[in-house]
Structure 1
């Protein structure tokens, strides 16, 4: 019997914690024993299918590094679902921002777009990801993004310029049309404040000029091979960029984030 005591103790402790959280939720859902909860502060549409959710977490939030993602837990029709989403903003003590794209048949992304409102409270899980800046910033930085891959890339951009206001940064952002430019106003504001930032928007709707190639990249960023580069976007873009870097023997200068983090439940996108 004594060997079971630690197991029983942990079980009872879990039951007690869940019960306390259940009772506290009737007073304030932000009050928990350990769980990280966050209240929705604002919701804005960045593009027709991307929304920015600004959240204020409770005291249990441990922070994050620019470029990382966080898991989000929501209840839909009586069942819990968990997904990972990239954080948009540079780390602060006050709020976190998520850029969430509505996915076709995506259970959680569609629910958040249609049902999450200002004032609602959701649960946050673990923070993860190695798509982060080094402690010592490189002298020149190139950020390449495609579509909603701009989400972690913008976080890196904001953090880099926060740490070094005159950092030489070039952003190359590939989208279908100008309506698909997420966080464009934020980036323009950064460019006005930081003249060392160069923004390049590449539209697929412009034809051949809107397709990635080594020549196209060199036209907008002639010294790309000399820059520490961060890349996030659709598989086709990432494959093309990776090949160019490999062919030039500069793969060690390229850091990638896999576009479209896998859902915790692979059977329910």
Structure 2
């Protein structure tokens, strides 16, 4: 027997199996969440607070800070005999209080803050509606550990391309549309605490008084923070007189755009509008502002379909139409958007999960044809390979082994 080797007489998996039969929340290895509260942040945004089990806490403690602002959880929810997996942004940081609670509630929960995690959910779609409207309090669901790279670590990778002091942190601009604000709640607080200059643009169709109160509090604490809430139906809130993102609006922020890292999260139209806007702004030294953008996709954003990389489409949803063949089903449909969306538009049902290229549930085999990954810009080969339908568009006619 090798020196130092100690056989595990009782397997942890066996202990987990027995423990789960005694109490479903208990596990040494599987992270689980128990719903303990719901908070209505607006008419279309609900925060769900969960108690975490020992496995979640232990693995989070191993990550030192718990989790980073901008990360998300993959939840596995059992509805009508079927498991569904969806991704939801984590609100805030592990040691951060929940600003929408009253003082008494915040004080009471302070001691146990490390034992809870909160996500924000827009109650649309099967799983989101179930979580916000039907899931009973004290229900237990399986979860992943915090995931994702939409974090401040991305900002640290940006190079200092001017003669600015190398020790000076780059300014950060956060551009959010609708519920795309949720991953930014922790990111912005973390960025301000780290000493970044931060500006926020949030476009939304309804008022969000609680969030606006939070931004005002941060603005009072951090002089380096500025925020603009643009209610798209209220001209008094428009930036530079424009309802949507524009070059004039970005320039009015008086940021050194060549050195500003831009975090963006929102709809397909908002992301495409951002890329189009920065393409219209000239900066010195031939810097490409689009290279400063870090995107967290909600849905399938199509910021750029041109293979040469020299053109942006005004319409985020359309490119040249191609035919997609489903070999096993002997079906076909035309596609001028992501393969998944095009199939659904043609009343063809394909497997999917998060719709963001994260969960892998939509993965299938491509027999032939060229596709483009809308997140990485990578162009595939013309041969057999595994692809995800939610984040790939057809660049030629495509045959799928589905």
Cα deviation digits, residues 100-148 of structure 1 (max 9, x gap): 1112xx1110101112344332221243221110285833111111100
Q: Distance in 1 between matches of 2:233 and 2:256?
A: 24
Q: Distance in 2 between matches of 1:95 and 1:15?
A: 25
* Match among 129, 132, 141 for residue 151 of structure 2: 132
Match of 1:229 in 2: 262
* Match among 169, 194, 205 for residue 222 of structure 2: 194
Question: RMSD of aligned C-alpha atoms?
Answer: 2.8
Q: Distance in 2 between matches of 1:168 and 1:31?
A: 43
Deviation at 1:50, TM superposition (A): 1.1
Alignment of 1:52-71 (within 5 A): 52-61=47-56, 62=60, 63-71=66-74
Deviation at 1:182, TM superposition (A): 6.8
Q: Distance in 1 between matches of 2:279 and 2:267?
A: 18
Cα deviation digits, residues 75-105 of structure 1 (max 9, x gap): 11222221111112123334221011112xx
Match of 1:4 in 2: none
Structure of higher RCO (CA pairs closer than 8 Å, 6+ residues apart) = 1
Q: Distance in 1 between matches of 2:256 and 2:18?
A: 55
Match of 1:9 in 2: none
Which structure: greater helix fraction? 1
CA 1:118–1:227 in 2, change beyond 3 Å: closer, same or farther? same
Unaligned 5+ segments in structure 2 are 1-10, 61-65, 96-113, 157-167, 236-240, 283-287, 300-353, 363-402
Matched residue of 1:66: which SS? coil
CA 1:193–1:108 in 2, change beyond 3 Å: closer, same or farther? same
Cα deviation digits, residues 122-180 of structure 1 (max 9, x gap): 2212432211102858331111111000011122112212333xx3211111111325x
Deviates more, 1:195-204 or 1:60-69: 60-69
Tell me, yes or no, if structure 1 residue 211 matches structure 2 residue 265. no
Match of 2:22 in 1: 24
How many pairs are equivalent? 248
Matched residue of 1:123: which SS? strand
TM-score (norm 1): 0.81
Unaligned 5+ segments in structure 1 are 1-12
TM-score (norm 2): 0.56
* Match among 183, 198, 212 for residue 169 of structure 1: 198
Q: Distance in 2 between matches of 1:224 and 1:88?
A: 29
